[in-house]
Amino acid sequence: MIAGMAHAPASTLIRLSAVQLAKLIARGEVSSVEVTQAHIARIEEVNSKINAVVVRRFDQALREANEADARRARGEPLPPLHGVPITIKECLDLVGTPSTFGMPSRRSDIPQANDRYVQRLIECGAIVLGKTNVPQALIYNESSNALYGRTNNPWDATRTPGGSSGGEAAIIAASGSPLGLGTDIGGSLRLPAHFCGITSLKPTSLRTHDYSRFSDLAFEFGPITCVVGPMARDVADLALALRLIGALSHPRLPSPQPLGDPAAVDVSKLRVGVFTHDGLMRPSPAVARAVREAADMLRAAGACVTEWEPPDLRQAEALYVRLLTANGAPVFRAALAHDKPEPQLALLYWLAQRSPQMVRRIRRILAAMRQANFTRQLDNIGFTAEDIPRLASEAEAYRRTFAAAMDRADGGPLDLVLSPACFSPAWPHGASRELITGGAYCIVYNLLGYPAGVVPVTRVRREEAIARPLSPDIVDMAARRVDIGSAGLPVGVQMAARPWQEHVALAAMKVIQDEARRRAGYPATPVA
């Protein structure tokens, strides 16, 4: 596959995909120790700038790499990720390391068993280098907390890598890790991938249910569940990781449907619906261009690509936020019982504790101040426990409406939906105080339970880093600050498929990835 890799320089090894590294190690062209050392050195080089890896296990990783090389030397059977270093999100349990969710009160929480998805990758030969940063309680779209500090985007240190899997996205983008695991309950795999110029996949909601002790509790009362998914720089790595973790059964959930093979998908026979605006947050010029370019790439591959308008995404956002905050967001109250909310979370957390009457009074004041975006969000806060069954029923009705709209698209039923992952490129630090959801681009697929992935397409051009109009609305002004100075930042697109059809999304994502890499504007490696 890659000639002359014996004694390859570290600068070459850290650029390779997990699939490539696994093949080279299996053939004996490089050792696991060489690969692990190269990635450790890269983490040590960049981590002072980005603060992505917050729990290190380098000594253990090198011991495991030595053991992996010894097993190969003895001629033992080698699993798919034999000797390949990876990283994992801090919230995922790994014996001997804390799972704090970014909360100082949990700094002594050391699990006695591995998360089952982490364990599965370890059984398949992966070597965990460390754990990566998250926002407090995994709630907002940045990765900053009082325990570990702030993670910076490797493309621009004044910007966030997103959240909640932001540390994972940052270190993969910076070539400190070829593959990682994150979680997603509202875009936490996809938004960081988009912000950092990598690829990720949120599986179908019941395929990789998140078993972590906090997340498993979080939405037992509602239809929104957290899932575990892979992050990488190459779509082939996502496909491999999903094949390894995507068939594990849950003791309380139906068994996942069998995984399909992305290589068996004929992209020329796919029907793809495209939209660029969710009706909530107008896309930045580079974001809209990336979607148009991705659509053209799929057309060139023979797919039937048509403009399509999804069912009211305002309703999707409303249902998502109402379910998230209903009954005063009890899971967040429990999580933060011993910790002060971070600034990005404080306002939403405070509002979720107010009575419906108080929320209505605050809403009237904000409406009078011409704060349309916050007013809309306040319409979604203040719901009680008694409202949850009705909200769940409305969410199920929305799912039926969305599926019917895909079935009845002009020209025939849709296989895929192509859209932005977010209205903009990476946000400045602190912007999630105002940009609570960033629109419905990601969260609609958490509400639906559909699989959805992100793949990088381009970077913001200088002429596209233009300011939005001045506005009295503080959310609109926060969006204006995002676009200013965004030239050079990576931009991805989101590809969603019907339930259990991850392989179809991955096949289309590979087409986009391969063509984007052929073009000059493809995001390479950031400076960090």
User: Comparing C-alpha atoms, which of 526, 524, 504 is closest to residue 239?
Assistant: 504
In which residue are the tokens 């580079």 written? Answer: 286
Phi and psi at 495, nearest 5°, equal -120, 115
- Alpha carbons 283 and 418: distance in angstroms, whole number: 14
Q: With contact defined as beta carbons under 8 Å apart, do 13 and 35 qualify?
A: yes
* Annotated catalytic residue 89: yes
Strand order in the sheet with 490-497: 53-56, 127-132, 85-89, 179-184, 227-232, 199-202, 452-459, 490-497, 416-419, 271-274, 304-307
Cis-peptide into 164, omega within 30 deg = yes
Tokens of 371: 């704060």
Q: With contact defined as beta carbons under 8 Å apart, do 503 and 445 qualify?
A: no
* 89, 131, 202, 510: the active-site residue: 89
Tokens of 63: 């011991």
Tokens of 92: 């995922």
* 175, 188, 215, 284: the active-site residue: 188
* 17, 31, 32, 164: the active-site residue: 164
3-state secondary structure of 419: strand
Phi and psi at 243, nearest 5°, equal -60, -35
- Alpha carbons 523 and 493: distance in angstroms, whole number: 13
Name 82's Cβ contacts closer than 8 Å, sequence gap at least 6. Answer: 22, 25, 26, 32, 68, 71, 72, 124, 125
- Alpha carbons 93 and 111: distance in angstroms, whole number: 6
Q: How many Cβ atoms sit within 10 Å of the Cβ of residue 338?
A: 10
Q: With contact defined as beta carbons under 8 Å apart, do 35 and 41 qualify?
A: no
Amino acid present at 405: A
* Annotated catalytic residue 284: no
Name 366's Cβ contacts closer than 8 Å, sequence gap at least 6. Answer: 374, 375, 378
* Annotated catalytic residue 23: no
User: Which amino acids are annotated catalytic?
Assistant: 89, 164, 188
